[in-house]
Amino acid sequence: MTELLHAGRFRAAIDVFPEEPVPADHPIRSAPNVVLSAHRAGSIEGDSNLIGRMVADDLEAMAQGLPPWHMQPAEPEIVARLP
């Protein structure tokens, strides 16, 4: 997947990784068109529905050419500082 992202074949938003945290030198960190996020699963009843609604809202906005409202893209300079 990392190779395909670097080739510009698709875009991705990823919050679960085989190894966490993702190593600082992992090539996924420099891939274009990718948003990396810490995994945040809701543990309180109803959180899953809220998270799902937020994702659906943002996908609908992006499908219309608008920026996401709930989830903000990770800025490369911030991602580079993550452990």
Q: φ, ψ for residue 80 (rounded to 5)?
A: -65, -25
pLDDT score, position 74: 65
Q: What is the DSSP string of 17-66?
A: -SSSSPPTT-GGGG-TTEEE-------STTHHHHHHHHHHHHHHHHHTTP
Confidence of residue 26 (pLDDT cuts 50, 70, 90): very high
pLDDT, mean of residues 52-65: 89
Does 71 have pLDDT greater than 90? no
pTM for the model stands at 0.47
Give the rounded percent of residues in the chain with a pLDDT score beyond 90: 20
For residue 5, the 8-state DSSP code is: H
Mean pLDDT of all residues belonging to the chain: 81
Once rounded to an integer, what is the mean pLDDT over residues 72-76?
A: 68
